Structure 1
Amino acid sequence: MGQRIADRNDGVELIGVGRDLIEFHLSVPYGEDAMSRVEALGRALAQQQDPAAGVQLEFAIGAACASAGDADPLRLLEVAEIALERSDDDNGLELIDLSSIDRAVDRLTLIADLPRAIAAGEMFLHYQPKVNVRQQRVASVEALIRWQHPERGLVMPGDFIAAAEESGQIGPLTLWTLRQVIADQRRLAALGHDIPLFLNISGMLLANATFIDEVCEIITANPAAKLGFEITETAVIRDPESAIRHLQQFADHGVVLAIDDYGAGLSSLAYLKQLPAKELKIDKMFITQLTSSHRDPLIVRSTIDLAHALEMEVTAEGVETPAALALLSVMGCDLIQGYLISRPVPFAALCTYLGEQDQLVETMTSRPVFLRAGSSWTRA
């Protein structure tokens, strides 16, 4: 029966037969869904039944899939057996993607490594400037965390922030970031660049009274620090009453609050009215196609007008072209952030950039624009 199925179905190879087990290898062309191929195999098995001849076939399918480069045959068979154990119902089917297992293992490994990484100094910060369009100078800087893992190399926040939230390490990680930002802001002020530094606050922490108290204690101990916190609206939606109360505590301690990624999630005018925010950051999804879309300019312009009516400054994220900058300037956008100005850079490079900004920033609304060559900047 197994050979008959293999002969009648393209890409199906019979590789093993046991007393109550048949093993197949399926070749899935690029772009085709693996599950659909496994389901087709299930239909082929079902067709082997012949009630008139007294043949009643009961079966379950366990399958494992991987990309061509990761398709180790022995591991695929081992995982397929696990899938078969899960699929113990008649005509049941279970498919396990090896990449999902690898991601889960990676996440667990990162979770286990996080406490050591924070203590061992493996975390570091990069900084991305926000430039005031009218004044043509850096108005503030956003701190972005990175992880130099001793075995994995550079780990980006998208790969470990979720693990930190899941494991409860996001609190210690954020407190480390806050202390480092305060130290760096002090160093910048000593160099004559007394500008606010912003850091991101996870929504999970806004309901944590202990974390809020620790942050306020650190800020109170550093009264000269100019700080900003970036939060998303979705962070507030989880527990609006608690989040708004705690954000007000931050504001009372002199922290500038910015609503990050506005428009990317569930934007609510009710929360926008209640939040003690001074800055609204328009998500880059509305900026990247600003000059080629008919709707995005309307959304951006109306958002800028709304924010100004609520006495908030507006930052456009993801500004990458002079054309987008010119249009944002006409719309009255206050601040821009993106690769047109600078990628996130180490602290030393930020200091150099700030020291040279008088020469680097002459006019951003006329024809001359920024160009970066290596780590230096020139004008075109």
Structure 2
Amino acid sequence: MISLDRLGAVTHWNEAAERTYGIPAAEAVGRRFTDLVETVYQEGDAALARRQVHVQGRWHGRVRQISRSGAVVEISSTVAALYDQAGGSRGLVAVNRVVEPSSGDTDLTHRATHDSLTGLPNRTVLMEGLDSALHRLRPGSTTKLAVLFCDLDGFKDINDGLGHAVGDQVLVTVAQRLRRRCRSADVVARFGGDEFVVVLAVDEVGDAVAMATRVIEVLDTPIVIGDAEVSPGVSVGITVVDAVPDTDDPVAAVLRDADTAMYHAKGRGRGRYELFDAGLRDDEEERLELATAMRRAVGDGELELVYQSRRTCGDRRVTGVEALLRWRHPELGVLAPDVFLPIAERTGRIVELGDWVLRQALADLADLPDERLTLAVNISARQLVSGRLTRTVTRALSESGVDPARLVLEVTETAFSDDPATAHRVLDELKAVGVVIALDDFGTGWSSLQYVRGLPVDVLKVDRTFVADLPGELTASAVVASVLGLGHGMGLTVVAEGVEDEPTLGLLREMGCDEYQGFIDGEPGSLPDVLN
């Protein structure tokens, strides 16, 4: 898709144009099309060079060019009609005749406006349709416009585990189910990747919620492809408007609100919907402000580490410490990691923060006289697949002089959900370096038993949600006992997280748990404080 101004200079050059002509958009925009592409031309020759055009942001058939000066001599009837609507043939140097679209033009139009895989309208058509629908809203009318932003929950696992061919078939099936579930007047479009958008007219918010519920239900039903049966699942963000948003780009604003709601739905457990409101927008603005402030936090010395001790369940002897990050914000005070780490994950800054924690914690550990103590550092999913973790760990160990066997890297099961093959490979590399690997929050992930047998781990940490219900909750006791049996059967050390009182510690001791950590020994603090 290529757009030219009235002088023949390129104003838009999309990815398909880059692939077709082998010219990057950065080089094409601003230059004359005839300077970029050699046109077959001889005076009086009937050879014509075809090109695609935009009129008021829309693709509309073909323009034929015979002159190197860029003079247009033939246009399709669709283009002519749109130029008439725009107030005349502006930008056309000359028009000799108007032609009716051929079947080839119709096919070309469909390919330019629809997703090639699913057959759904593409992002361009979606945004144009949404713009038109927004401007049809009338004050006082009972009709509202709902936008549902749908993002598949488990698509990457399907793609990585079963291959892209199966993934493509899943997307086609998802598109078909969405189209059948929605009304004929509703717009169902593929936004990109595994994201789909539904636009529909509703009388009340409840209608949009009902549609989101139906979408979640239909995409939770297993899809059978060959011998594989998968359930992609979906998270849906909903926004409902009764007037055009008062912004420079109302279409982008509406889609952004629906997208924000979708991310909240994913954050609350996936397979659910979230309705956008002003509070979510305020939250999003606060997150953006924190993300901006996070850029200076490392350089300005606003980050600090506190530590929590890890002890044996028997004699409560300290065996090591876990480094915990805090952000001393100049205006908001001390921020806990659950406030800013999700933002760091989403923006990618978590890798930089993780590198800083690793270097600083190892430097602190190197100053301790007791060389038997271990140091645990949490590793995020992004760090694990960043391609630099092994080099970073090796360099930090070398700079600090700490024995690799004293470093415990803690990863959660969710760190394997996005790219399990890469995550597994990196853990093998780290084990070769000599560090200890701990599987954190064990028992909460869907893949616990599936992955733990093949992972190069040394330690299992029982999630605090189970430990907190000890000793009164029988189900929690059963889970902890099962983890202890599994871990010890594999020769692993089992650590209980979140121990806060003597009865809980006593039961863990009776059950044969190796170590624990928690507030029973006080709040996290400086190394000297937690080791005394």
Q: TM-score, normalised by structure 1?
A: 0.67
- Distance in 1, matches of 2:240 and 2:377, equals 49
- Distance in 2, matches of 1:62 and 1:177, equals 44
Q: Can you list the C-alpha shifts for 1:20-68, whole angstroms capped at 9, x where unaligned?
A: 53499xxxxxxxxxxxx964899xxxxxxxxxxxxxxxxx97379xxxx
- Displacement after TM superposition at 1:216 (Å): 2.0
Q: CA, structure 1 residues 148+294, in 2 after alignment: closer, same or farther (shift >3 Å)?
A: same
Q: 1:255 aligns with which of 421, 428, 435?
A: 435
Q: Percent identity?
A: 35
Q: Can you list the C-alpha shifts for 1:44-100, whole angstroms capped at 9, x where unaligned?
A: xxxxxxxxxxxxxxxx97379xxxxxxxxxxxx979xx79x959xxxxxx9741110
1:281-292 residue pairs with structure 2 within 5 A?
281-292=461-472
Structure showing greater Rg: 2
- Distance in 2, matches of 1:308 and 1:96, equals 47
Contact kept, 8 Å, 2:348 with 2:382, in 1: the verdict is no
- Displacement after TM superposition at 1:336 (Å): 1.0
- Distance in 2, matches of 1:41 and 1:136, equals 58
Q: CA, structure 1 residues 39+331, in 2 after alignment: closer, same or farther (shift >3 Å)?
A: same
- Distance in 2, matches of 1:298 and 1:21, equals 59
- Displacement after TM superposition at 1:286 (Å): 0.8
- Distance in 1, matches of 2:309 and 2:140, equals 60
Contact kept, 8 Å, 2:442 with 2:448, in 1: the verdict is no
Q: 2:398 aligns with which of 220, 238, 245?
A: 220
1:229-308 residue pairs with structure 2 within 5 A?
229-308=409-488
Structure 1 residue runs without a partner (length 5+): 1-19, 25-36, 43-59, 65-76, 88-93, 356-380
AA in 1 matched with 2:452: L
Contact kept, 8 Å, 2:462 with 2:495, in 1: the verdict is yes
Contact kept, 8 Å, 1:258 with 1:279, in 2: the verdict is yes
**Counterpart in the other structure of 1:368:** none
Contact kept, 8 Å, 1:220 with 1:253, in 2: the verdict is no
**Counterpart in the other structure of 1:208:** 386
**Counterpart in the other structure of 1:161:** 341
Contact kept, 8 Å, 1:207 with 1:239, in 2: the verdict is yes
Contact kept, 8 Å, 1:63 with 1:96, in 2: the verdict is no
- Displacement after TM superposition at 1:114 (Å): 1.4
- Distance in 1, matches of 2:345 and 2:207, equals 40
- Distance in 2, matches of 1:61 and 1:143, equals 44
**Counterpart in the other structure of 2:375:** 197
AA in 1 matched with 2:402: A
Q: 2:241 aligns with which of 58, 62, 69?
A: 62
Structure 2 residue runs without a partner (length 5+): 1-137, 143-202, 209-238, 256-273
- Distance in 2, matches of 1:270 and 1:222, equals 36
1:293-372 residue pairs with structure 2 within 5 A?
293-345=473-525, 347=526, 350-355=527-532
Contact kept, 8 Å, 2:460 with 2:492, in 1: the verdict is yes
Contact kept, 8 Å, 1:258 with 1:280, in 2: the verdict is yes
**Counterpart in the other structure of 1:21:** 139
Q: CA, structure 1 residues 23+193, in 2 after alignment: closer, same or farther (shift >3 Å)?
A: farther
- Distance in 2, matches of 1:78 and 1:38, equals 21
Q: TM-score, normalised by structure 2?
A: 0.49
Tell me the SS of whatever aligns to 1:166: helix
- Distance in 1, matches of 2:240 and 2:408, equals 54
- Displacement after TM superposition at 1:148 (Å): 0.8
Matched positions, count: 284
- Distance in 1, matches of 2:417 and 2:240, equals 42
Q: CA, structure 1 residues 86+197, in 2 after alignment: closer, same or farther (shift >3 Å)?
A: closer
Q: Can you list the C-alpha shifts for 1:127-150, whole angstroms capped at 9, x where unaligned?
A: 111111124211111111010111
1:86-97 residue pairs with structure 2 within 5 A?
86=254, 96-97=276-277
- Displacement after TM superposition at 1:210 (Å): 2.4
